[in-house]
Amino acid sequence: MDYRIEKDTLGEVRVPADKLWGAQTQRSKQNFPIGNEKMPKEIIQAFAILKKSTAKANEQHGLLSAKKREAIAFAANEILTGKYDEHFPLVVWQTGSGTQSNMNVNEVIAHIGNTWLEEQGSDEKLHPNDDVNKSQSSNDTYPTAMHIAFVLKLHDVVLPAVRTMKDSVKVKMDAFQDIVKIGRTHLQDATPLTLGQEISGWHRMLERSEQMIEESMHHLKDLAIGGTAVGTGLNAHPDYSEIVCTFIEEETGRSFASAPNKFHSLTSYDEAVYAHGALKALAADLMKIANDVRWLASGPRSGLGEIVIPTNEPGSSIMPGKVNPTQSEALTMVVTQVMGNDATIGFAASQGNFELNVFKPVIAYNFLQSSQLLADGMLSFDERCVQGIEPNYEQIETFLNDSLMLVTALNPHIGYENAAKIAKTAFENDATLKETAVELGLLTEEQFDEYVDPKAMTKPKA
Query: 188 pairs with which residues across the strands?
Result: 185
Element (H, E) at 190: strand 188-194
Query: 391 pairs with which residues across the strands?
Result: 307
Helix (H, G, I), strand (E, B), or coil: what is residue 252? helix
Please tell me the distance from the alpha carbon of residue 276 to that of residue 282, in angstroms, as a whole number. Answer: 10
Q: Rounded to the nearest 10 degrees, how much is the dihedral formed by the CA atoms of 236, 238, 244, 250?
A: -160
Q: Is the peptide bond before 454 cis (omega within 30 degrees of 0)?
A: no
Helix (H, G, I), strand (E, B), or coil: what is residue 395? helix
Residues 6+ apart with CB under 8 A from 8: 22, 23, 24, 27
Contact 32, 99 (CB under 8 A): no
Indicate which residue of 218, 255, 316, 350 is catalytic.
Answer: 316
Please tell me the distance from the alpha carbon of residue 280 to that of residue 409, in angstroms, as a whole number. Answer: 39
Residues 6+ apart with CB under 8 A from 254: 151, 152, 155, 221
Element (H, E) at 337: helix 326-349
Indicate which residue of 186, 218, 264, 328 is catalytic.
Answer: 186
* Chain-centre distance for alpha carbon 459: 35
Q: Is 186 an annotated catalytic residue?
A: yes
Q: How many CA atoms within 13 Å lie on the side-chain side of 333?
A: 8
Please tell me the distance from the alpha carbon of residue 385 to that of residue 348, in angstroms, as a whole number. Answer: 36
Please tell me the distance from the alpha carbon of residue 275 to that of residue 453, in angstroms, as a whole number. Answer: 46
Query: Rounded to a whole number, what is the distance in angstroms from the first to the last CA of the chain?
Result: 83
Residue type, 195: L
Residue type, 299: G
Cite the active site residues. 186, 316
